[in-house]
Structure 1
C-alpha cells in the first residue's frame, strides 16, 4: 500500500474544465477533492486525486490555445493495474492513441483537452 502523496501535482490548463474533469473521472477514476465554480456553473479550478496523487485542472482560453496545447510534448504518466482497459475507456471517451516514436517507447494517448498521457502497469519488484 502506498502513502497518499499530498504534494502539489501537475497543473493542467484546459479550455473546458467540466469536460476534462468528466474525462479524468470516467477514464482514470479521478476523485474531485475541491472545486471552485463561477456563478454560471463553470468550474474555474479543481483539485483531483488520481491514484494517490493530486493534480489541478483549471480553465483558461484565448484564441489559438487549442493548437498550443496540441503542440506540447509533456507526457503525464499514470499507473493502473489494467492499462489496456484504461486505454480502451480513454479511446471510447474521445482520446486519440499516438503511436510510439520508436519501438522502445510506450504508446501514449492524447485526451480531448489535448494533453498526452502514458498509462503503465504496476512496477514489479526486482
Structure 2
C-alpha cells in the first residue's frame, strides 16, 4: 500500500469514530490527519496515519447496514518493532485476542469496534 494513495486505504466502519480513534492512537500510535465533525464536535469521519499507511474510519448509524458488517471478517496487518507490547496495550484497551487458526503462530486481535488486526514483528531479511 502506498502511503498517499487514498484509493487503497482501508475504510473501516465503526459505531463510534471517536472511540475507535482513541483506541488506534493509544495502541497503534496512529496520528489523525483529518477529521470531519458535526457542529457539536462529534467525529463522523477521520483519516489516520499508522506507520507509513493510511486508513479511513467512518461512523455508520443505520442498524442492519451490511457495509458495517462487511469489514468485520477482514484482517488488517500492522507491523511493529515490539508486537508483544502492542498486544498488551490492545488487551488493556479492550481488545480480545483470538486463537490462531490451525498451526499458524500469527496472533489476531479484535478491537473494541469488532475489527480484526494481526500484529507482526519486522520482516527479517537474509
- TM-score, scaled to structure 2: 0.89
1:1-126 to 2 correspondence within 5 Å? Answer: 5-8=3-6, 9-64=9-64, 69=69, 72-126=72-126
Distance in 1 between the 2:31 and 2:96 partners?
23
Q: Helix, strand or coil: the match of 1:73?
A: coil
Q: Tell me the CA shift for residue 70 of structure 1.
A: 8.9
Of 9-18 and 96-105, the range deviating more from structure 2: 96-105
Matched pairs, number: 122
Distance in 2 between the 1:86 and 1:79 partners?
10
RMSD of aligned Cα (Å) = 1.9
Q: Which runs of 4+ in 1 moved over 6 A?
A: none
Q: Tell me the CA shift for residue 71 of structure 1.
A: 8.2
Distance in 1 between the 2:40 and 2:64 partners?
24
Q: Tell me the CA shift for residue 73 of structure 1.
A: 1.7
Q: Name structure 1 gaps, 5 residues minimum.
A: none
Distance in 2 between the 1:20 and 1:63 partners?
18
- TM-score, scaled to structure 1: 0.89
Q: Helix, strand or coil: the match of 2:13?
A: strand
